[in-house]
A and B are shown apart, each in its own frame.
Chain A
């Protein structure tokens, strides 16, 4: 099911079957070149499969943007240990709702991507870790998996290729931290979702201390098209060094919020104006978050000339992230936005690393007091200092994720913090849309 109208500006690779009544069924998948990438990969050597993925310039779609082919090549294929494929379907980065539509509308595409990853690293078991809130998607995936077993696309000797693979869903139970790869693996093993120190990385010691390929849903979903149509064709869709499309979630103050599949390198202004139908109520853009609430915020001026890809965003000292675009209009209170983001990280900090646990809690307290009109001038540099002291001092990136948007907001929108001083309640709060 689709929750928003598609846009004519989309490039439909991962979403090519969306809108077909039978897109989620095995019959509907097979009718539309389904599992062709797997059959092709099954005739190739593991190195050839990995090279095809490398040639596609596919980079991890969960937020970190690490080259996928390279990640797969780190798995020691000859290790006597079993290897595992783990799908990160713990989508919970605020602003992000793309993996949901990928699984709901085309579950077999994900299964095929997992199978191809299995071929490339000699893995025969996979787990799809789905956040607990997505219960209906566990049912969708279980149904698709059952259909795949029945049709001979999972299990023993798949389609006579001699390749065996078993795939299972695994329910999370409500924890943002479990979207972080090492915490996810802990959770998969029936423990609290606390990050592991790295190295060793999951490629060497992941699930059950065995070599593991762990990628985001969208990353796996891109793989069937790469094998089917060739890595070069996928690479050609994007920009140099980053191939293909990105599932982009437009959220916040646009006329047509929704999930859209856009080529990497899509101009930000065109995305807001034409895909998103412009800012709501004819207002102006104030702030822009490219890929989930962990990314540093951009001002309207910084967005000019920006494109939706890793390098363009890195040049602006932010990140493409997960594709969760958050658009804030001119009436948005940036202190309130910073507070809400920090409340989230304070709630989700697992408590393992003190700079994150204490930093997020104190920042939440200061920002709450500040927004309510109890701020003093020295709070403004204090907020920045506290956040900067969290950077790089934690096992996992949650501390950084909390610090980065905060630092950018307090630096770029300092005047709004100053306007909240002297006991004045929020000057933006009275403005309702």
Chain B
């Protein structure tokens, strides 16, 4: 597989970060960074990362299935993650979640028909004092109300 020069540089750095013979350590960060570029974890990507860190594709699959942020299926262009854990729930994060489902007409881990937006109800993302919190891809949004979420979602659709 070919990756961007930036990602290749990142891979090189990762593979040099761990003690000799411990290149397997780079597997999870490599999958995370590669996923951003490829979109999701494809079979081809699994094989490529396995080859580079010196394990079998089966071993990569076995590890990646454990981690909630590594996706084997394609996601929408915008991955909208809404926290409903306790601190967010106390600020109506659960109602915000229901609002998002209704507005987009999709549920947990589903993607809109146009392939633009994926929705996921997530566990604590570390924004508890600024609840309820939403993450769009890697961007945090704090103190999100249903009105603000509407604006946010409408804005995403208009993005090029």
Q: Which of B87, B124, B129, B131 is packed against the most chain A CB atoms within 10 Å?
A: B129
Which residues of chain B have C-beta atoms less than 8 A from A336's C-beta?
Answer: 89
Report the nearest A residue to B70, measured CB to CB: A173
Q: Mark B38-58, 1 if CB is under 8 A from A, else 0.
A: 000000000000000101000
Which residues of chain B have C-beta atoms less than 8 A from A237's C-beta?
Answer: none
A187-B28 contact, Cβ under 8 Å, with A97-B130, A208-B19: yes
What is the predominant secondary structure among interface residues of chain A facing chain B?
Answer: mixed
Within 8 A of B (CB), among A76-132: 82, 91-97, 99-100, 125, 127, 131-132
Which residues of chain A have C-beta atoms less than 8 A from B62's C-beta?
Answer: 192
Asked if A251 and B128 make an inter-chain contact with CB atoms under 8 angstroms apart, the answer reads yes
Within 8 A of B (CB), among A134-188: 134-136, 168, 170-176, 187-188
A324 contacts partner chain B, Cβ-Cβ < 8 Å: yes
Asked if B135 and A133 make an inter-chain contact with CB atoms under 8 angstroms apart, the answer reads yes
Report the nearest A residue to B89, measured CB to CB: A340
Which residues of chain A have C-beta atoms less than 8 A from B94's C-beta?
Answer: 340
A170 to B53, CA, bound (A): 15
A250 to B27, CA, bound (A): 36
Q: Smallest distance from the beta carbon of A182 to chain B beta carbons, Å?
A: 15
Asked if A132 and B24 make an inter-chain contact with CB atoms under 8 angstroms apart, the answer reads no
Within 8 A of A (CB), among B8-65: 17-19, 22, 24-29, 31-33, 53, 55, 62-64
Which residues of chain B have C-beta atoms less than 8 A from A332's C-beta?
Answer: 90
A168 to B29, CA, bound (A): 12
A190-B130 contact, Cβ under 8 Å, with A174-B67, A175-B67, A251-B87: no
Q: Smallest distance from the beta carbon of B126 to chain A beta carbons, Å?
A: 5
A341 to B92, CA, bound (A): 15
Of A262-270, A301-309, A343-351, the segment with at least 4 beta carbons within 8 Å of chain B is A343-351
Asked if A249 and B129 make an inter-chain contact with CB atoms under 8 angstroms apart, the answer reads yes
A399 contacts partner chain B, Cβ-Cβ < 8 Å: no
Asked if B31 and A131 make an inter-chain contact with CB atoms under 8 angstroms apart, the answer reads no
Which residues of chain A have C-beta atoms less than 8 A from B136's C-beta?
Answer: none
Which residues of chain B have C-beta atoms less than 8 A from A193's C-beta?
Answer: 66-67
Report the nearest B residue to A210, measured CB to CB: B19
A131 to B91, CA, bound (A): 24
B4 contacts partner chain A, Cβ-Cβ < 8 Å: no
Asked if B69 and A347 make an inter-chain contact with CB atoms under 8 angstroms apart, the answer reads no
Asked if B69 and A257 make an inter-chain contact with CB atoms under 8 angstroms apart, the answer reads no
Residues of chain B having any CB pair with chain A under 8 Å: 17-19, 22, 24-29, 31-33, 53, 55, 62-64, 66-70, 84-87, 89-92, 94, 123-131, 135, 138-140, 142
Q: Which 7 A-B pairs have the closest CB atoms?
A: A174-B69, A173-B67, A174-B68, A190-B24, A251-B87, A190-B27, A192-B66
Q: Knowing that A3-B130, A97-B129, A171-B29 are A-B contacts, what are 15 other residue pairs whose CB atoms are under 8 Å apart, sorted by A's residue number? A: A4-B129, A97-B127, A132-B67, A133-B69, A133-B125, A133-B135, A135-B138, A172-B67, A190-B25, A190-B53, A192-B62, A208-B22, A253-B90, A326-B90, A327-B90
